[in-house]
């Protein structure tokens, strides 16, 4: 239950960030969240939250736009079912968040000072 609040917070942040800015903001937001609160978030949680946020945006879009027809037309162009394109877009959002979080972990690991043991002569 304690992991639900950070997940919902991250989902809302991703939804707002995606609504306000284009897709490249997703890995940046993911990296910032992981660097600011490393104990609250993990790369997997952030990837799932980004996917849930984008899925929510797509679900909201279906209420006011013919997303099904658009997905079916685009699917016909690339020879995939429309639902596969929708699932792929959610997977891309999750992959972008995962990549940003993993990059933040690598940067934090490199930036943290390592313990150096000096021998006295």
Domain spans in the chain, listed from the N-terminal domain onward: 4-111
Higher model confidence: residue 83 or residue 8?
8
Query: Cα 29 from chain centroid?
Result: 8
Residue 117 has pLDDT above 70, yes or no: no
Helix, strand, coil percentages for the chain (3-state, nearest 5): 75, 0, 25
Q: What is the pLDDT of residue 38?
A: 85
pTM above the 0.85 mark? no
Tens-place pLDDT, residues 43-77: 999 999 999 999 888 888 777 777 677 777 777 77
DSSP at 119: P
Confidence of residue 114 (pLDDT cuts 50, 70, 90): low
Query: What SS3 string covers 72-87?
Result: HHHHHHHCCCHHHHHH
- What number of residues does the chain have? 121
Average pLDDT, the chain: 84
């Amino acid at each position: 239950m304690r992991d639900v609040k950070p997940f919902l917070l991250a989902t809302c942040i991703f939804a707002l960030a995606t609504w306000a800015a284009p897709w490249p903001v997703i890995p940046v937001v993911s990296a910032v969240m992981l660097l600011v609160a490393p104990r609250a978030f993990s790369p997997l949680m952030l990837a799932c939250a980004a996917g849930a946020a984008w899925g929510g945006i797509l679900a909201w879009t279906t209420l006011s736009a013919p997303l099904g027809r658009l997905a079916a037309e685009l699917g016909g162009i690339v020879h995939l079912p429309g639902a596969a394109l929708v699932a792929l877009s959610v997977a891309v959002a999750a992959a972008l968040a995962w990549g940003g979080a993993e990059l933040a972990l690598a940067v934090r690991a490199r930036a943290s000072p390592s313990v150096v043991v000096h021998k006295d002569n």
